[in-house]
Structure 1
Amino acid sequence: MVELTPLMWSVLALGALVVGLSKTALPGGGTLAVALFAAVLPARTSTATLLVLLIVGDALALLMYRRHADWKTLARLAPAVVAGLIVGAVFLALANDDWVRRTIGVILLVVVAVTFWLRRRTAGSSALGQGGRAASIGYGTLGGFTTMVANAGGPVMSMYFLASRFEVKAFLGTAAWFFAIVNIAKLPFAVGLGLLDAHTLLIDLVLVPAVLLGGLAGRLLADRMNQAVFERVVYALTIVAAVYLLF
């Protein structure tokens, strides 16, 4: 059992609010929630607690954006994501926490740099161009890997969707389906490892309203955010996530 003080509950509530915002308006921002939960809860409890709240956020995002998904993109990504999940599970079993964080931080910075370069090189069209299959394999594998080891796949997949030049709601709809499927697939592993228990679920139950509030606020924000601002925010949040994980 983890005894939570009012300050600790406040930090967790802020993290839950960020989960809702990241699912409905600010992709890539979910890594801030990872940091906030890790600052309060033991590592295993943090991972399991956050996973349940991410699934709640996924459900809310699907209610709002389910009709905007690009299913061809999701189908292309699926095999590589499964491979990334497997590699991530193996890496998680072998590496310590510092190696996990720093490896993901380096991956995120490299992905940001490559995505920015591709978009500058192919202004006005999809940055993936003729290399779409290779990009799906690369981004998909990294997305599966990072979400498995640290619930940090959001920034990687955000860069892929930016490279694909999705408009805001297509971006959010495709991301909603992607993470709903991936996070539900991770749930049996969490149960099998004994990470989810009555105490963890009780914490989640208390925090669900904050996820819903963040999600509704995010929807209002997304309706008012133009494409250029949206893309800058995604880049900024991804870089912040990478720097946090590195240092």
Structure 2
Amino acid sequence: MLFEYSYGFYLVAAIAVLITGISKSGFSGGIGALTVPMMALFVSPLKAAAIMLPILCFMDLLSILAYRKNWHGRNLVLLLSGALPGIVIGTLTFSYVDPDNVRLLLGVVTLVFGLSYFVTRQKVEAVATEPSTPLGLGCGLLSGFTSFVAHAGGPPVKYFLLRQRMDKTLFVGTNVVFFLVVNQVKIIPYAWIGQFSTENLLLSLVFAPLVPLGIWLGLKLHKVLSPELFYKISYLMMVVAGIKLIYDSFA
């Protein structure tokens, strides 16, 4: 059954997995939002999301080895307190919610916030500010929900954390731990609604060997980038992700 897919699918999916690994370990995601749409050129979006979830979980486990000591406790508590109910809401409303409407709303918010950095030319400060409780819970809730229904939970977390101008390694580490928990939790409802077929799991296994290479490349890039360049790239990735989410909602 694995031989029924074209060479184009395997090539594009392999590139998508590498990009996601680099993005996740080096920049806390962003470009990773393009993965499912790239694979959806050849298979259904639901199938692409099901194939990617085990791969994302593998990436999280490798990334946490590098960032296990670099994460912000209060931010994680706030975000996860909102994300877990968001996943439950996503599970219960999965059959009724139009993912395209979710992508459109999330894409607009992501694009506006990403562009605001370049319009106002904000300077990067390496000191984390006190996180806002209402904003953290709200962004966590939105991230948990959108992560479940559209694999697009990164932008709300970035919106919350980038505003604090924390150290780049602390920023990525907090993202890594957050999505380690979220993606592991998502396995249960994804299995419950029948997303993990034997074929999907075999395809995940085919692309799994590319994960360590992507994670390694991302870690190398993270070490050599200055904080200012890191934040510019992170915001630029938000702009790209926002445009892509808006495009997907209409396409």
Aligned to 2:52: 50
Structure 2 residue 25 is matched with structure 1 residue 24:
yes
Aligned to 1:101: 103
Q: CA deviation at 1:116?
A: 8.1
**Contact map agreement 2:124 2:228 (CA 8 A) in 1:** no
Q: Once superposed, which parts of structure 1, at least 4 consecutive aligned residues long, lie more than 4 Å away?
A: 113-120, 122-129
The one-letter code of the counterpart of 2:153 is G
Greater shift after overlay, 90-99 or 54-63?
90-99
1:152 CA drift (Å): 0.9
Query: How do 1:119-130 residues align onto structure 2 when only pairs under 5 Å count?
Result: 120=122, 124=125
Secondary structure of residue in 1 paired with 2:132: helix
Match of 1:170 in 2: 170
Deviation, 1:125, is: 8.1
Q: In the alignment, is the contact (CA less than 8 A) between 1:29 and 1:155 conserved in 2?
A: no
33-42 vs 224-233, greater mean Cα deviation: 33-42
Flag the 1:13–1:148 CA change in 2: closer, same or farther, 3 A.
same
Instruction: Work out whether 1:5 is the aligned partner of 2:6.
Output: yes
Q: 1:87 to 1:208 in 2, by over 3 A?
A: same
* 2:188 alignment partner in structure 1: 188
Deviations 1:78-115 (A, max 9, x none): 22112322333455322334323212212323554678
Instruction: Provide the aligned C-alpha RMSD in A.
Output: 2.5
Deviates more, 1:237-246 or 1:104-113: 104-113
Distance of 1:140 and 1:111 partners within structure 2: 17
Contact 1:118/1:163 (CA < 8 Å) preserved in 2?
Answer: no
TM-score for both structures, normalised by structure 1: 0.89
Q: Does 1:220 align with 2:220?
A: yes
What is the CA–CA distance in structure 1 between the aligned matches of 2:121 and 2:68, rounded to whole Å?
26
> Structure 1 residues 125 and 59 mapped into 2: Cα distance closer, same or farther (>3 Å)?
closer
In structure 1, distance between residues paired with 2:188 and 2:92: 17
**Residue equivalent to 1:137:** 137
Provide the residue aligned with 2:244 in structure 1: 244
Report if aligned partners of 1:155, 1:238 keep a CA contact under 8 Å in 2: yes
User: 1:229 Cα shift?
Assistant: 0.8
Whether the aligned pair in 2 keeps the contact of 1:80 and 1:136 (CA below 8 Å) is: yes
Task: Name the structure with the higher helix share.
Answer: 1
SS of the residue corresponding to residue 93 of structure 1 reads coil
Query: 1:240 & 1:75 partners in 2: Cα distance?
Result: 28
Aligned AA for 2:204? D
Work out whether 1:84 is the aligned partner of 2:67.
no
* CA pair 35-128 structure 1, distance change in 2 beyond 3 A: farther
Match of 2:179 in 1: 179
Residue 18 of structure 2 contacts residue 211 of structure 2 at CA under 8 Å; is this kept in 1?
A: yes
Where does residue 235 of structure 1 map in the other structure?
235
Q: Which structure 2 residues correspond to residues 141-156 of structure 1 after superposition, within 5 A?
A: 141-156=141-156
TM-score normalised by L of structure 2? 0.87
Contact residue 24 and residue 219 of structure 1 kept, 8 A: yes
Distance between the aligned counterparts of 2:153 and 2:18, measured in 1? 18
Label 1:95 to 1:183 Cα distance change in 2 as closer, same or farther (>3 A): same
Distance 2:13 2:99 in 1: 21
Instruction: State the Cα deviation string for residues 150-173 of structure 1 (Å, max 9, x = none).
Output: 111112212222112221111111
Count of equivalent residues: 245
- Structure 1 unaligned blocks of 5 or more: none
* Other-structure match for 2:64: 62
Matched residue type, 1:31? A
- Percent identity (aligned): 30
